[in-house]
Amino acid sequence: MSAMGPVLYYCYDAWCGWCYGFSPVINRIFSEYRDRLGFEVLSGGMILPDPPQPIGAIAPYIQKAYLTVEERTGIKFGKDWLWHIFNPGDSDWFPSSEKPAIALTVFKDYHHDLAVRFATDLQWALHEEGRDLGDDEAYRHLLAKYAIPEKEFYDKLHSPEYKEKAFEEFALVKQLQVTGFPTALLQVGPSKFYLLCRGYTDHATLKARLDGVLRESSFPVE
């Protein structure tokens, strides 16, 4: 835990549609609490097929599930994303959580405190803009936004060191007993965690739970 106080752990996956729907919620919480809480984003490794499988392996499920996410969360999936879901035979996508997870660990070298924003950007790039997160080019537009040197970023993206960091995150998520995404936990002591949400949760509910834990733990709410 940060010496500054409690830390909110946001366990997500770049390929998780429910996390995409949750993005506006966690971003609002980040904006409201960033001056009082630490924020740590962990990638969950939701899709790690070996060997890699084409998008057609999961497209039939997503064709139905995305409507449920839209109805529950109010988020909309972009037409470029949906093209791959409804035309899997013509898509060259092989979904994997690995590269976006590595990209997040690289990003933390530069702006650890903005990891919530970057995770949201990755989900927007995939689910709205239809960028293939398995393709290096899917990240290039974000480097200028965050003033990250391109060569450094791509060198790290392909280095064993950062791949290892990503898999350490996957292992930590399991150690935290996270079994689904999105999940948010608040750490208030060296080994004391409170579960704030498992699965999509609206802003009012999450804020009420967070404030309740802060009060119970004798941390200031406002």
pLDDT at position 62: 98
pLDDT at position 112: 98
Tell me the pLDDT of the chain (222 aa) as tens digits: 444 589 999 999 999 999 999 999 999 999 999 999 999 999 999 999 999 999 999 999 999 999 999 999 999 999 999 999 999 999 999 999 999 999 999 999 999 999 999 999 999 999 999 999 999 999 999 999 999 999 999 999 999 999 999 999 999 999 999 999 999 999 999 889 999 999 999 999 999 999 999 999 887 666
Do the beta carbons of residue 203 and residue 28 sit within 8 Å?
A: yes
pLDDT at position 25: 98
Give the Å distances, CA to CA, from 8 to 19, 65, 103: 16, 28, 21
Q: What share of the chain is helix, strand, coil (3-state, %, to 5)?
A: 55, 10, 30
Torsion 8-143-22-58 (CA) sign: negative
β-bridge pairing 183-189 and 192-198: antiparallel
pLDDT at position 4: 59
pLDDT at position 222: 62
β-bridge pairing 192-198 and 7-12: unpaired
CA-CA distance, 40 to 42, in Å (whole number)? 7
CA-CA distance, 133 to 78, in Å (whole number)? 15
Residue matched to tokens 């704030």: 196
pLDDT at position 1: 45
CA-CA distance, 213 to 186, in Å (whole number)? 8
pLDDT at position 16: 98
